[in-house]
Structure 1
Amino acid sequence: MIFGEKLKTERKKMGWSQDELAERLFVTRQSVSKWENGQNYPSIEIIMKISDLFGLTIDELLRSDEELTKKVIRDSRQLAYPKLKFAFDVLFLVGLVLLVIKLVVLILNKTAGLDITLYGGKVLWNFGPLLLMLGGGIGSGILKDKFKQS
């Protein structure tokens, strides 16, 4: 049984109209109608509310419709993608900031005759920014490719 049919069957068992179910889910009657007719699918949050309302497991609702299962998986990836992308972008930016700091210090030491010392050692300041920028860029690229495949 597909999700829309299951939803309609469960709603009728409870003796509810589409309007009554919509009120309980805080959505429009049109949304309920589209779900029941297979024109659209609810979000995972709504699926959880439907599960609670009808005393069904989420598994019973999802496994009833392969397209709904795929939609929930796609939605969950979209939720995870921005957080991971942000982490890789921050990693890249930290590397960029460290590189700019190093360049500014080098320029000031050469042009202004200053003797500013960067603490942490030459290895950190020579390779740290590069490794952070490479890690952030490669991680972001891998994530982007992985997300496109799904």
Structure 2
Amino acid sequence: MSFEQDIKNLRLDKKMTQQELADIIHVSRQTISAWENGKNYPGLDVLRELSNLFVVSFEKIIFGEESMTEKQKSIADTIDRDVALKARYKKATIGLVSIVVLLLLWVVMLTIGYQKGIDKIDRFNPFLQYTVGYTKMPSQQLVNPNNPKNGGYWTRWFSDNDMGTEWTKLTLTTGLNPGIKDPYVMVYHKGSYVKIARIVPGSSVNKVMKSNVSAITRLAYSKNHDNLSLNMSTTGALKNKSHFNKAIQELVVE
């Protein structure tokens, strides 16, 4: 028999309508009708699916008979291998694409977390390294754990290197100054994630770092920009940022 007659008989033997068969193999009813009228022919992957569905040999589906010549057997074997390879390639491609998409989403999440200063994301970002930063400790009122406005958490820009080119805006809590003279805050942080924060005396902070802290503090929280060496416009430069990588220096005249 011809394929169109075979596929129709197989469908009728299963007491399926054209629509029911179409739903099972994910094609339209019109496609089934075209097959049964000899106007079209399914692809190899669909032939394999039909073979499994109707529990008939692949050879029967292709050639319309169980017994085959050696040439037909060779063709059937080749088609069978091609169908199996195609299925494996499809699965491998889907798996690879899924991995790439997940990696891209992961990188996007890390990038957004860093730019937005989300400490919970920065904490697990493998591309960030821990560094030590300094800032001048704010007033006792601001850092007081009993402060109803912030619960003791405060935000300041920290200088991350002596060159005055790397800055990070951090939100943290230290508690009250235990009586240290000229208090500074030293933090060990990765991006916006603060692992350790200590209150240290100003005498333990070198002059260059103190100058950097003074410069960033004046730029961010004061209108007095005298004696600041800037390679940027100060208007809104730090307002919506969590990280800054431009030179800010304080020119000290001896």
Q: TM-score, normalized by length of structure 2?
A: 0.26
Question: In proportion to residue count, which structure has more helix?
Answer: 1
Q: TM-score, normalized by length of structure 1?
A: 0.43
Question: In proportion to residue count, which structure has more strand?
Answer: 2
Which protein shows a greater Rg?
A: 2
